[in-house]
Structures are given as structure tokens and as C-alpha cells.
Amino acid sequence: MAEELVIDADGIHYTPLNKMIRGAAASGVKKVILKNVCGQRFIANGLKCDGIEIEIQGVPGGDLSMFMNGPEITVYGNADHAPGNTMDGGRLIIHGSTGDAVAHSMRGGEVYVRDDVGYRAGIHMKAYMEKKPVLVVGGQSRSFLGEYMAGGILVVLGLDKDCPVDGRGVGSGIHGGAIYLRNVSPEDVDAGIGAKVIVADEEDMEVIKPYILNFCRYFDADPEELMNSPFVKIIPSSARPFANKYCWE
């Protein structure tokens, strides 16, 4: 089997397309290039293997890399809703924007989006023991960023935007992990119930530094400019943000 496999996905249903990808991975192919992708869902869904790269040319459909653990996927275009849904490991690099719910329930690995994301990015991201999911957004997010977040790191840089979040309810119900927003003041963040906004300190910057450096390497951004920018940090105000919603006297 060759080290590299090129698949023209034009007109291919997502089920046989994913069977081709799984077959290539099982036979030891190191890189799969998918050309003419147009809305096929579930690409690399549940794929568990290290050392394979998948290059997507086009626009993949919903739930890209759902439950994936190991591969690195690079998308040269936009992505539909929920890329990285419940991803367990590996890396997803998107040279464009995404729809809603990117990194939904993500529990490991890293997702990098060059441009904008839709509503509820990072909803219910979680962490367990050594697993710590990371989502870095270069552009802007819409409302309910990091809703019900239970763990991990979420960074929105707001490049070429007036603010990193265009909307409300940042961190609604957050009870773990942290959200970092660049070039915005705490009083300007429309935080949700249970969220607390503070100024990021030097220790925080060391935490997010490796992921910002990755972002800059993937998308040719200036790391010095980003690392010297002010950030705020959104964290849980308590471990039980909705405790009083379910208790009556």
C-alpha cells in the first residue's frame, strides 16, 4: 500500500467514503487526501489510529471527526456544524469557518479554527484525568460560547474583529475549564449564569501559550502580537451554577 492515497469524493455518499478512509488507515496509509468534498457527513467518525493525516479539500458536512482519537485532519475550506463532536484525541485544523456547536462535548485533542464559529461553540467540553480538550478560534464566536463547559481550554482571538464574541451568554452554566477572550475588558463580556470574568494573568498566559503558538504555525499569524495582547478569563463562579434552580423552600 502506498504511503499516500488520493480519493475524489465527488458524488460519493458518506458511508462508502468513510469505509475507504477506514480501509486506508487499516492498511497503513499515512496520508489520505480527499478532493471535492461537498457536505459528506461523519468523515473520520470514530477513527482510532495514530500517525495518519487526512487532508480535506472542500466543505465537509456535520460531525466531522466525531469520536475520533489519534488522526490529524486539515480542512482547506469551511466546515458544517459540530466538527470535533465528542472528539477523544487527535487534531482538527480548519482553514475557514464552522457552523454551530464546534467541539460539542469534546473530551480530548485539539481543534483550531482560523476564522469564525457559530453559536454554542465548545458546549459541554469536558476533561478527565490527563485528557484536556482545546479549542482555539481565530475570529469571532456567536452567543452561548462555552455553554455548560465542564473542562478544557477555549480561546477566542477575535482577529480583525471589534470583539471576540458577537452575542450573549458567554460561559452559561460553566462548571469546569476556562474560556479566554482576547482584546476585551471584563465589563464588556456578556457573561451567562454561573460565569465569572477576570483578567488573565501571567500564569494563564503560560497555559494558553502552546496553543496560540500552534495556531500561529498553522495559519501564519504573529505569535508576538497575540501573546502581548490582553486577555480575560471566564471561569465558574461556583461548582453548582444552577443549584438554586432546582431547590425550593
pLDDT digits (tens, 9 = 90+) for 224-236: 999 999 999 999 9
Distances (CA, A) of 230 to 117, 183, 233, 247: 21, 5, 10, 39
Can you say whether residue 160 is alpha, beta or left, with left for phi > 0 and alpha for psi between -120 and 50 degrees?
A: left
Q: Would you state the torsion angle of the CA atoms of residues 132, 135, 136, 141, taken in this order, to the nearest 10 degrees?
A: -140
Q: Which amino acid is at 127?
A: A
Confidence check: pLDDT of 34 > 70: yes
Contact between 216 and 223 under an 8 Å Cβ cutoff? The reply is: yes
Question: Dihedral of CA 48/42/84/97: which sign?
Answer: positive
Question: What is the pTM (predicted TM-score) of this model?
Answer: 0.95
Q: What angle do CA 196, 200, 205 make, to 5 degrees?
A: 140
pLDDT tens profile 54-107: 999 999 999 999 999 999 999 999 999 999 999 999 999 999 999 999 999 999
Which position has the grid cell 490582553? Answer: 230
Q: Hey, what domains does the chain have and what are their CATH numbers?
A: 97-245 (2.160.20.60)
